[in-house]
Amino acid sequence: MRFSFLSLYADAVATFFNRGILHRAIDAGVISLSAIQWRNYASPPHFSVDDAPFSNKKGMLLRYDVLHKALSDAPSDAVFVMPDPKGPPFNHQHAQRLCQHSHVFFISPAYEGVDARIHDAFPIQQYSLGDFIIPNGDSACMIMAEAIARYIPGVVGNGDCIEDDSILSGLLECPQFTAPRRVDQFDVPEVLLSGHHHHIQTWKMMQSLRQTLFCRPDLLNRFSFDKTLVKMIDQIIMEEAA
């Protein structure tokens, strides 16, 4: 898998991946990375990449001609991806689909965005990472790249961790604990130490339902419930109301 990043801060983007599992994947040749400076495609002497938008002098837009040169220079197998609030919310299903491609080319917008005509010239997939404003698209691109990378075979050591993660099941993950068993007068729940598999699984499901119900109830719409789970939710609600 190859990741490319077109950015005004290419050096900073490259540095971000020099850590953790992504760094190991790059060293192992599972992932290759290139960070491309926008200004490489601008004209001297000023190498300007932006200009004021027509009919609105507030802010600046990244120029069509500069971006067109950059995308035209990309390999033919590149899939173009750009963070944009007009796109659908990025999720694990998008990450899984993008993982099937050999080359994902991220476009990091800056200032007030890009000249809209670039979307007529190139098939650019747009995704939103939330209803908030950030100075440029670098961090959004890197988040998407990390999400995609986890589905590349050989990146995550334990493949079971990928599908067991919170959100993918439709429910938030239950609380987890590690050594020591007691710290600052707080104990690990006894059921987790019991060795009774059925009781442990029931406790974990109750905790996942509780977390989801009160922290992210919107996720419940994605989950398929049987009668047992409905009874669990009824029990949780009654406990809270007591």
Q: Has domain 182-241 been given CATH number 1.10.1270.20? A: yes
Q: What is the pTM of this model?
A: 0.84
**What stretch(es) of the chain map to CATH 1.10.1270.20?**
182-241
Q: Alpha-carbon distance 47 to 38, whole Å?
A: 9
Tell me which H or E stretch contains 106.
strand 103-107
Q: Alpha-carbon distance 105 to 108, whole Å?
A: 10
**What stretch(es) of the chain map to CATH 3.40.1280.10?**
2-149
DSSP annotation of 71 reads H
Using one digit for the tens of pLDDT, what is the confidence trace for 67-81?
A: 999 999 999 999 999
Q: Alpha-carbon distance 22 to 43, whole Å?
A: 34
User: Average model confidence (pLDDT) for the chain?
Assistant: 91
Q: Which CATH class is domain 2-149?
A: alpha beta
- Alpha-carbon dihedral of residues 66, 67, 69, 74, nearest 10 degrees? 150
Quick one: pLDDT at residue 169? Answer: 63
End-to-end CA separation in angstroms for the chain: 53
Cis peptide before 217 (omega within 30 of 0): no
Using one digit for the tens of pLDDT, what is the confidence trace for 184-220?
A: 999 999 999 999 999 999 999 999 999 999 998 988 8
Q: Do 138 and 12 form a contact (C-beta atoms < 8 A)?
A: yes
Using one digit for the tens of pLDDT, what is the confidence trace for 52-103?
A: 998 876 789 999 999 999 999 999 999 999 999 999 999 999 999 999 999 9
